[in-house]
């Protein structure tokens, strides 16, 4: 009887993991498929210059989103995943994080005002910049870490589908002329806020969450305790988001547009394939590490090949069909984006490697300082190299900098793991036969349980 109960419990976990991957895949698919439907229409109306303006402001506002998020989607998920059924405990984590994010939002408001006053590209496009900054309120409210920690993510796929559908319809209705580009950020902000409010209210009711104000000193203590992960996410942005910001100081809005449309298309692959696996596996792997170190590492060894194959062949496909993809989605105005797109085609593959080594392995083993060392080193090198490459080679140099630094951070993380006697690579699991058997087994267990 006990064996039967354990088997059923294991099947439930496998079933839940597959549902989470599917849900997150659907979320990311909707996040990008709907925009890709509108891109061929919008790009031919607003052109490279307007794309550059929007994407530059988006990249800059990402710093404030990063500050408000403070890595809580990782640390909060990790806390809740280890004790997801204790509602009082989950409510405590929820209250602590929301209080801290409110504090960080007010700090962001002050920094934003200073940025608009002194950063030229932002001052020149105030409406777009201010509109996009309002979206940071969503970062305060959305309790993604709760849904991830409890491994209940299907609501995201439903809500994102509705949001994407409404956004797509409104774009075709409202954007008719070049100057209508300001409507794009407005729609994204309004729909994003509505979505975040709903997810917050829904989580409070579904999980019986009780929000409590905490003392200011307790919020500062939490920020201090979680500073390593936050600083790690900041330094990661120095060789990702900062690429666009630095390029904006040396290149025209059109060149920024060529680079950002390239990286955006690559993010489609990374977000549709890598992100769902990464986000769904993080609490799942954390639970496995809760049983034992070796159990967690064995799960990672089996998952690693699946992510590797998916992202590698996705990158190969993007490289081969780059001219067709750029022409299809953006038109002849963006033909200069083809080269930068090809240079970065395998970035999703390389990023998936660093995700396995860093997020999935190091953070679940509480190797926060090691993770920080790797990302900090890459950030310093990336920032210095990016300034030189962007200044002398424009958006093509920025593209090369992106792939070089992503490759470096993946290799360095693997080196640090090996130096700590941690092996995440198991040759036998890379056999195509094993990968297919593993996927088939997981699928059949899920189907049997559903029946």
Residue 322, pLDDT > 90, answer yes
Spacing of C-alpha 150 from chain mean position: 19
Q: Is 191 helix (H, G, I), strand (E, B) or coil?
A: helix
Q: What is the model's pLDDT at position 447?
A: 47
Q: Which residue has the tokens 């140099």?
A: 397
Q: Is 344 helix (H, G, I), strand (E, B) or coil?
A: coil
Report residue 32's pLDDT band, with 50, 70 and 90 as the boundaries. Answer: low
Distance in angstroms (rounded) separating the CA atoms of residues 40 and 38: 6
pTM (whole model) above 0.85: no
Q: What is the model's pLDDT at position 411?
A: 94
* Mean pLDDT confidence for 256-279: 76
Q: Which of 283, 22, 277 has the alpha carbon at shortest distance from 156?
A: 22
- Which two structure tokens, joined as six digits, stand for 232? 């790690």
Q: Which of 376, 46, 107, 96 has the alpha carbon at shortest distance from 237?
A: 376
Distance in angstroms (rounded) separating the CA atoms of residues 405 and 378: 6
* pLDDT tens-place string over residues 164-180: 889 999 999 999 998 88
What whole-number percentage of the chain has pLDDT above 90?
35
* pLDDT tens-place string over residues 112-139: 999 998 887 787 888 999 999 999 999 9
- Return the top range by mean pLDDT from 183-187, 259-263, 277-281: 183-187
Distance in angstroms (rounded) separating the CA atoms of residues 374 and 372: 5
Alpha carbon dihedral 337, 251, 183, 175, in 10-degree steps, equals -40
Q: What is the model's pLDDT at position 445?
A: 45
Q: Is 176 helix (H, G, I), strand (E, B) or coil?
A: coil
Spell 205-235 as b/e; 16+ CB within 10 A means b: eebebeeeebeeeebeebeeebeebbbbbbb
User: Are 14 and 445 contacting, i.e. CB atoms less than 8 angstroms apart?
Assistant: yes
Q: What is the model's pLDDT at position 407?
A: 95
Q: What is the model's pLDDT at position 448?
A: 44
């Amino acid at each position: 009887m006990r064996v039967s109960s354990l088997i059923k419990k294991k099947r439930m976990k496998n079933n839940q993991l597959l549902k989470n991957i599917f849900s997150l895949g659907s979320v990311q698919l909707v996040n990008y498929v709907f925009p890709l439907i509108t891109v061929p229409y919008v790009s031919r109306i607003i052109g490279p210059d307007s794309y550059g303006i929007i994407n530059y402001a988006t990249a800059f506002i990402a710093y404030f989103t990063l500050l408000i998020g403070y890595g809580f989607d990782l640390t909060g998920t990790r806390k809740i995943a280890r004790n997801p059924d204790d509602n009082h405990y989950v409510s405590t984590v929820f209250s602590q994080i929301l209080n801290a994010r409110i504090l960080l939002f007010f700090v962001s408001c002050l920094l934003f005002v200073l940025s608009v006053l002194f950063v030229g590209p932002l001052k020149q496009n105030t409406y777009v910049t201010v509109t996009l900054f309002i979206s940071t309120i969503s970062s305060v409210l959305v309790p993604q870490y709760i849904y991830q920690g409890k491994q209940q993510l299907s609501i995201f796929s439903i809500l994102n589908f509705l949001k994407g559908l409404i956004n797509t319809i409104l774009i075709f209705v409202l954007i008719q002329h070049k100057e209508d580009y300001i409507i794009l950020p407005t729609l994204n902000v309004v729909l994003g806020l509505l979505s975040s409010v709903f997810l917050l209210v829904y989580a409070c009711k579904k999980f019986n969450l009780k929000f409590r104000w905490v003392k200011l000193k307790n919020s500062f203590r939490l920020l201090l305790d979680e500073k390593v992960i936050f600083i790690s996410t900041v330094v990661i942005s120095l060789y990702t988001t900062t690429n666009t910001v630095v390029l904006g100081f040396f290149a025209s809005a059109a060149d920024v547009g060529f680079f950002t449309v390239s990286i955006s298309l690559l993010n489609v692959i990374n977000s549709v394939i890598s992100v769902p696996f990464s986000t769904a596996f993080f609490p799942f792997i954390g639970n496995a590490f809760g049983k034992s170190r070796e159990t967690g590492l064995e799960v990672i060894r089996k998952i690693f090949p699946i992510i590797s194959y998916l992202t590698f062949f996705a990158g190969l496909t993007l490289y081969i069909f780059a001219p067709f993809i750029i022409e299809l989605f953006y038109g002849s105005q963006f033909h200069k984006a083809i080269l930068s797109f090809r240079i970065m085609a395998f970035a999703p593959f390389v990023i998936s490697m660093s995700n396995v080594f860093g997020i999935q392995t190091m953070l679940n083993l509480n190797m926060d300082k090691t993770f920080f060392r790797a990302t900090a080193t890459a950030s310093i090198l990336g920032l210095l190299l990016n300034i030189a490459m962007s200044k002398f080679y424009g958006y093509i140099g920025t593209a090369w900098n992106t792939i070089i630094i992503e490759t470096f951070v993946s290799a360095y993380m693997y080196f640090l793991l090996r130096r700590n006697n941690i092996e995440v690579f198991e040759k036998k699991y890379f056999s195509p036969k094993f990968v297919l058997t593993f996927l088939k087994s997981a699928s059949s267990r899920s189907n049997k349980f559903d029946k």
